[in-house]
Structure 1
Amino acid sequence: MNFETSESPNKTKVMMTTDTYTLSTSDYTNDYEDSAPCPIRETWRFFRSFAPPAYFIIFFLAFVGNVLVVHVVRRYRRSRHSPCSYSLTDTFLLHLAISDLLLAIILPLFAIQWIKGWVFGVAMCKIVGALFSLNIYCGVLFLACISFDRYLAIVHAVQTGWRRNTCLAQVTCAVIWVCCLGLSAVDIHFRTVTTLPSDGSKVCFVQFTPGTHLKWQLTMQLLNLTLGFGLPLLVMLYCYIRIFRALCSTSSRRQKKRSLRLIISLVAIFLICWAPYNAFKLTDSLLMLEWLLRSCDLEKALDIGILVTESLGLLHCALNPLLYGLVGVKFRRELVQMCKVWLGSFGLARELHSQGSSRRTTMSFSSEGENTSYFSVMS
């Protein structure tokens, strides 16, 4: 969780979040019409009752799903002769799963902060805050990469030989990691641990340089809105619309319906998870710019709304394994083979394992065909 402070002659505001660009008001005294402080006890109670169970549930779901994806991908890679021998989508899928897994692992630390305060020290505060920002950015950018790869493969029918050389995808992923690491440097530099005067709780928060707080805050929120939502959404919309139009001229009516349902599901779930959060963040930015009239009701609505919608956005890292992994026929087959091996190690399903081991796939496990990889229902 992240607490940021800003001061002016008329107000003192403490804001709490998990990341550098999420703001929630936890304690503020404003020069409103009645010159009375806004009540925050009820909001604070809601935070402490909602955040811990929400973060632990997201952690469990995301951890299980993404660990499965990583194991299946790595198992498939070990069956190949080279790390650069399978599809670009599989490479992006692996990096997406790693990013979501790293994000999930740090959520229990923020949940504990709501219960006991930050007890992990300043160094861990900086590391965890940087990991949170890093993986939020990386996750959505890898989603955009997956959609763009599918666009090239299906709409433009990029040659198989070029697409199977995933060393290019590895370079792309490395560039994304490095760029997002640069963005997360804000947390490493500005994060610290402080004690709240209200109840003595220690919190991990971002403390910007006095006099530049508003500038930094608006800059980070603009970057989050652009790189963490707007740009990936535009890429996904463009690529998936073009993909569906291309499939309409080559697929059967049944396949068109299934393809359309899949595309709508991918875009709709991304919007449902991240659009509400970014809408609240945009409202918060307008409030900081004083383009909206401050009030206790609006502050409380923003506090609760940002926390709830942020949790909804984090849930997306638990849904990605279902949307981008299990939807693939080859992925499911590889997962079944892996489960048979696990069962066989306990003396179970040995006959099934022996039958399945002779049918090892030689294609991308996220695909049914090279030109319809990951959109397996379209083949």
Structure 2
Amino acid sequence: MGSSEEYFEDDYDYKDSMPCDLNSNHKLEIEIETYIYSLICAFGVLGNIMVIVTYAFYKKAKSMTDVYLINVAIADLMFVIALPLIIYNENHHWHMGTVACKLLRATYSINLYSSMLLLACISGDRYMAVVQARRSFGIRSRTLVSSWLICLAIWLLALILSTPTVIYNQRYEEQNLDGEMIVECNFKFDHNDTDTARLMKVLVPSTQVSVGFFLPLLIMSFCYSSILATLLRAKNFQRHKAVRVVLAVVVVFVICHLPYNVALLYHTVGLFKQRQCEAEKMTLVAITVSRSVAYLHCCLNPILYAFIGVKFRSHFQKILIDLWCHGKKYINTSRFSRQTSDLYIPPPPCKLAEESSEKQSFTM
């Protein structure tokens, strides 16, 4: 769900009564999005499944950050799984109907709010672990249950904030200036319900920008700046290496989400003003491109928050070793079943990686 979905052509004030075809680049945008979304889906599914598998079979959640990471992976996986359905419907005129339109748009909205607020929670937990280490040690060791309750509250808040997306998104057809029928899955209101239309056109993108970006950014900026100050005062080499991780987390977050939210905010502010046709087209193209960049964060979250840690990488290596061992075992068993000679001796079984009992958590 982007600003192009929140745009409504009847708000545009046509200069000199000349119509403006905002759908002229529709096919090109869908084609570009198809390739980008396919890459995001492939890498996002792989990375987030690895995070979930690691926590399910190799590493128990022992800290609040671990719980938040599991929920971030679930939120991102839910969205990237929905991407192929979005691609299919974009290319096939939303063949799956209005129900799919509502659910798929809501999937991104839920992912946006839940994952962004969970990332803010991770930064808060890291702040307590590093900056307030002595005060928070006893508290954080006894609050694993409360972290699940916080995650539940975030999911419920994400559902509530996504309610307008479910209610007002519809599949509908409209005709462009060339006489071609274009099927859209966007917000749609009755012509007589102008008050609700104006409210939702401002409320939905404003909430998305404020709660889905600026609030998490404010929390992360405070927490990670305090963490950086603490780490830079430490003489431990490992902690100085952690500075690069903190910087990477913040920089990637800003690069992925700032352009899209700035474009969305700019478009929302100018909704009820007269705009030039070409300038409006450029704004919508900028929103489309920046939205695709924002989607990339679903692929980068596993790398930044999980695999960049040494301890988590060791678990990932164990997964690869175990998959290799199970694969060899299956191949050797199949080969042995086809042998007719009693002289065939199967190779010795591969030793699976043993799970480490060391207490491990998110490594910065």
Structure with bigger RCO (C-alpha 8 Å, 6+ apart): 2
Q: Which residue of 1 aligns with 2:261?
A: 278
Q: 2:110 is matched by which residue type in structure 1?
A: L
User: Residues 36-68 of structure 1, C-alpha deviation per residue, up to 9 Å, x if partnerless?
Assistant: 223446422321321211111111111111111
Length-normalised TM-score, structure 1: 0.82
Q: Which residue of 2 aligns with 1:294?
A: 275
User: Residues 66-110 of structure 1, C-alpha deviation per residue, up to 9 Å, x if partnerless?
Assistant: 111111111135xx5xxxx61111110000000000111111222
- Please give the secondary structure, in 2, of the residue aligned with 1:294: coil
Distance across 1 between alignment mates of 2:12 and 2:165: 27
Q: Which residue of 2 aligns with 1:362?
A: 358
Contact kept, 8 Å, 2:52 with 2:74, in 1: the verdict is yes
Can you give the 5+ residue segments of structure 1 that lack an aligned partner in the other structure? 1-17, 368-372
User: Residues 175-220 of structure 1, C-alpha deviation per residue, up to 9 Å, x if partnerless?
Assistant: 0001111111112222222122343343322224521212111111
Distance across 2 between alignment mates of 1:352 and 1:23: 58
Can you give the 5+ residue segments of structure 2 that lack an aligned partner in the other structure? 330-346
Contact kept, 8 Å, 2:36 with 2:292, in 1: the verdict is yes
Contact kept, 8 Å, 1:340 with 1:353, in 2: the verdict is no
| 1:1-379 map, 5 Å | 18-19=1-2, 22-23=5-6, 30-32=13-15, 34-40=16-22, 42-76=24-58, 86-157=62-133, 158-160=136-138, 162-163=140-141, 165-198=143-176, 199-208=180-189, 210-211=193-194, 212-252=196-236, 254-255=237-238, 257-290=240-273, 293-347=274-328, 354=351, 356-357=353-354, 360-364=356-360, 367=361, 373-375=362-364
Distance across 2 between alignment mates of 1:29 and 1:190: 20
Contact kept, 8 Å, 2:44 with 2:77, in 1: the verdict is yes
Q: 2:86 is matched by which residue type in structure 1?
A: F
Q: CA RMSD in A?
A: 2.5
Q: 2:206 is matched by which residue type in structure 1?
A: L
Q: Which residue of 2 aligns with 1:4?
A: none
Between stretches 88-97 and 202-211, larger displacement belongs to 202-211
Relative to structure 1, is the Cα distance of residues 50 and 141 closer, same or farther in structure 2, using a 3 angstrom cutoff? same
Length-normalised TM-score, structure 2: 0.86
State the Cα distance separating 1:163 from its structure 2 match: 2.8
Contact kept, 8 Å, 1:55 with 1:111, in 2: the verdict is yes
- Please give the secondary structure, in 2, of the residue aligned with 1:117: coil
% same residue: 28
Contact kept, 8 Å, 1:91 with 1:169, in 2: the verdict is yes
Q: Which residue of 2 aligns with 1:8?
A: none
User: Residues 233-279 of structure 1, C-alpha deviation per residue, up to 9 Å, x if partnerless?
Assistant: 01111111111212233333x44542322222111111111100011
